[in-house]
Amino acid sequence: MTKEQAIARAEKLRAEILENSRLYYELDAPKITDYEYDMMFRELTELEEQYPDIRTPDSPTVRVGGRALDKFEKYTHNVRMGSLTDVFSYEELEDFISGITEQNGKDTEYSVEPKIDGLSVSLTYRDGVFVKGATRGDGLVGEDVTENLKTVKSVPLRLKENIASLTVRGEVYMPKRVFEELNEAREAAGQPLFANPRNAAAGSLRQLDPKIAASRRLEILVFNLQEGRLYPDGRECKTHSESLERLTELGFVTVPERTVCRGYEAVSEHIKYLGEARDTLAFDMDGAVVKVNGLSDRVRIGEGSSTPKWAVAYKYPPEEKETKLLSVDIQVGRTGVLTPTANLLPVRLAGTTVSRATLHNAQFIAERDIRIGDTVVVRKAGEIIPEILRSLPEKRSGAETPFSMPELCPSCGARVVRDESGDGAATRCTNPACPAQTARSITHFASKGAMNIDGLGPQVVALLLEAGKIKDIADLYTLSVEDIEGLDRMGRKSAENLVSAIEDSKSRGLERLLFALGVRQVGEIAAEEIARKFRTLDALFEAGREDFLAVKDIGEVTASALVEFFSAPETRELCARLSDSGVKTEAVGEARGSLFEGLTFVLTGTLPTMTREVASELIKKNGGKVSGSVSKKTSFVVAGDEAGSKLTKARELSVPVLTEAELLEKLSAN
C-alpha cells in the first residue's frame, strides 16, 4: 500500500470508528460487533505505525495512551471552576428558592440535575479539536491531564461542527460496573481495593502513564459551558438547558436525568425522584444540583464571594439500606482484640456492594439487641466504612439467634478475657504468639504510616508465614531474594523489589519504628511526640511511667501501656535483633518550630502542588498537629481539589478553611 492509499484508508477508518463509537456510547445502538470494531481499530493502528506522520491529533488511536509523563504541568483556568453552596434539608432548599423568587419572580426556571460523584475537569477545543484537559485543582489552577483525558472514550476528540473556541466542564467518573470488575481483579492479584468509584476515578485520571488511565475505562458527563460560543455564526444560548442540548449535538455526552421546572414543589419532586433512582444509574451521585436556568437571570441574581447565588447543591442524607445479617465472623487483631464482623446479604450502598460490616464488640451488639438472622439497617460511616445502625425486631420470624463472644480464640484456641483497660468493652486473646496477631502485627509494621515497606501486604505476609520464612517482624530483615522468589505470584523481580523495600525501611527512624512496633494506645502522632522527647530506643527502655506522662497528650492509659511494653523481656530481645539488622533506632525528625503550636489541622482533597504527606510534614515541623477527622477542636481544614465530607463538616462547624496557597502563605510569613 502506498502512502497516499494509506492516508485515504486511514481517513475512512477514522470516520467509521468515530461513527460506531457514537452509536455505542451516545445512542446505545451499536451496528457492528465488538470484534469488527477491534479489527478496524487494529488496522488503523498498524497504518499509523507504518506511516507515523499520517496520525492526526484526533485519531481514535490516541485513546490507548501515549508515552508516560514525568509529572503533570500546572494549568491556569481562563474561567474559574467554582463550587456550589450545599443545602442539607428541604427547608434550606425552600429558603433558597424563596430568595430567588423574591429577587427574580415566581416564573423563574430551574435546571435540576444529578450531582455526579467524580472528578471535575475542563475540556478545551480549538477549531473543533480537543487540545487541553485539566483538573479543577483549587478552581483557579489545576493539572494538565490532557493525555489521560484522551483515553476517555466519551471525550470527543473532534466536535461535529467546527467551533472556533470552546471550553466545557464535566465530571469524570468510573461506571459502577467497571468499578466492581476492577476491584475483583485487584483482589485476585492481591492488590489493595479502591474504597469507592470516585476515588478510583480520581486515582486513574492522575496516573502518569496514560496507558494505565486507558485501562480503567473512565467516562465523562459534561454539565456546563465554561466559555465560548456554541454556534459557528456567533449565536448564543439563552438558557443553560439549551446550552446542554447544543453540547449534545456537538458530540458531548451531557448530564442525564435532568429536568427544567418552576417552583419549590416541582424542584423538590425531581430531587426525590433522583434520590430514588440512584441505584439504577450507571454512575454514583452524591446530591442534586439546582441552577437557575436563564443565563440573563443568573447575571441579575449575581455571585457571592466564593459561590454563585443562583445555584445550590442539595446533599442527600447518608444512604441507609435494609438487609439480612447472615452470620458473624470473629477477626483477631494485631493486639489480640477479637472483633465481630457481620456477614450480610449483599446490598448496594453509597457506591459499592456491601456484604460485610463491623460490629465493634460484644457491648455494641448487646446494646442494639442484634441477632443472627435479623433484618438490620446499614449505612457507611463517613461514606466509607459499612456499619450496622440497628436491628428491626418487628421483622423477626422467631428463628433469629442471639450472639455471644467465643470463650476461646478462633485463631489459636487460647483462652480469651475481657479487657478491663479503657472502656472495658474489648475481648482479647491471651496468647502473645497467636498466629492471627502475628500476621496482623507484621502487616501493620510494614504499612504506609509505619515502616512503609512497599509490596508487603497481607497476602505476601501470609505467604511468608505459611512457608516458614518468617516468624516475627525481625525476621523480615533476614530475607533474601532466594527466600521469596518461587512463592505464589512472587517472581525474581518481585522478590528483588521486596528485598530492596525492606532494606530502605531501615532508615525510617524511631518515630516510624515506635508506631510500627504496635504499642497499644500509641498512634502515629503519639509516636512522633514520644520519639521527639526521648530521641533513642534505649531511652524508652529506661523510662518510667512519670517520664511518659510528661510527654504532650500522653495520659494514664497510654503511659501504662508503654511501661508494660518496654519492660517485657521479649520486647528487648526483639528490638535488639532489629538494631543488629541495621534498623535505625534513633529519632530522625528535625527540631520543630512553634508557628502552629497548639493548632490542629485536617487535610482533605487533592492539593495542587504537593501531596498530603508533604503538607502534613510541613505542619508538624512548625509545631502543629494533623488529625484525620474534623471536630470543634480543629483549628483549620486545608482543602484541595474535590474535597469531600470533611470540608462539608468543617463548614457545618464553622471551622476555618485554607487553600494550599493560604497554608504556604502562613508558612512564608514565618
Q: Where does a domain end: 12, 35, 55?
A: 55
C-alpha 645/C-alpha 247 separation (Å) is: 31
Instruction: Report yes or no on 424 lying in a domain.
Output: no
Instruction: Report yes or no on 40 lying in a domain.
Output: yes
Task: Note the pLDDT of residue 61.
Answer: 78
Task: Note the pLDDT of residue 643.
Answer: 76
Task: Note the pLDDT of residue 372.
Answer: 96
3-state helix, strand, coil in the chain (%, to 5): 40, 20, 40
Question: Do 379 and 308 lie in a common domain?
Answer: no
Which residues in the chain land under pLDDT 50? Answer: none
Q: How far is CA 595 from CA 536, 590, 604, 612, 667, in A?
A: 26, 15, 21, 19, 8
CATH code where residue 34 lies: 1.10.287.610
Task: Note the pLDDT of residue 537.
Answer: 93
Question: Do 326 and 303 lie in a common domain?
Answer: no
Question: Do 209 and 287 lie in a common domain?
Answer: yes
Question: Do 378 and 448 lie in a common domain?
Answer: no
DSSP letter, residue 280: G
Q: What is the largest CA-CA distance in the chain?
A: 86
Task: Note the pLDDT of residue 126.
Answer: 94
Question: Do 124 and 186 lie in a common domain?
Answer: yes
Question: Do 554 and 466 lie in a common domain?
Answer: yes
Choosing from 3, 31, 74, 115, the catalytic residue is: 115
Instruction: Report yes or no on 402 lying in a domain.
Output: yes
For residue 567, give the nearest of 593, 588, 548, 541 by alpha carbon.
541
Question: Do 274 and 213 lie in a common domain?
Answer: yes
Cell triple for 634 = 480543629
Instruction: Report yes or no on 586 lying in a domain.
Output: no
Q: Whole-model pTM?
A: 0.62
Task: Note the pLDDT of residue 113.
Answer: 97
Task: Note the pLDDT of residue 28.
Answer: 56
User: How many separate domains does the chain show?
Assistant: 5
C-alpha 486/C-alpha 467 separation (Å) is: 11
Question: Do 137 and 283 lie in a common domain?
Answer: yes
Owning domain of residue 507: 435-580
CATH code where residue 646 lies: 3.40.50.10190
Looking at beta carbons, which pairs linking 43-49 to residues 24 or more positions away fall under 8 Å? Answer: 43/9, 43/13, 44/10, 44/13, 44/14, 44/17, 47/1, 47/6, 47/9, 47/10, 47/13, 48/10
Question: Do 489 and 619 lie in a common domain?
Answer: no
Task: Note the pLDDT of residue 40.
Answer: 85
Assess whether 106 carries a catalytic annotation.
no
CATH code where residue 441 lies: 1.10.150.20
Question: Do 530 and 480 lie in a common domain?
Answer: yes
Q: In what order do the strands lie in the sheet with 165-173?
A: 129-135, 119-126, 165-173, 219-228
DSSP symbols for 375-419: EEEEEEETTTEEEEEEE-GGG--S--EE----SB-TTT--BEEE-
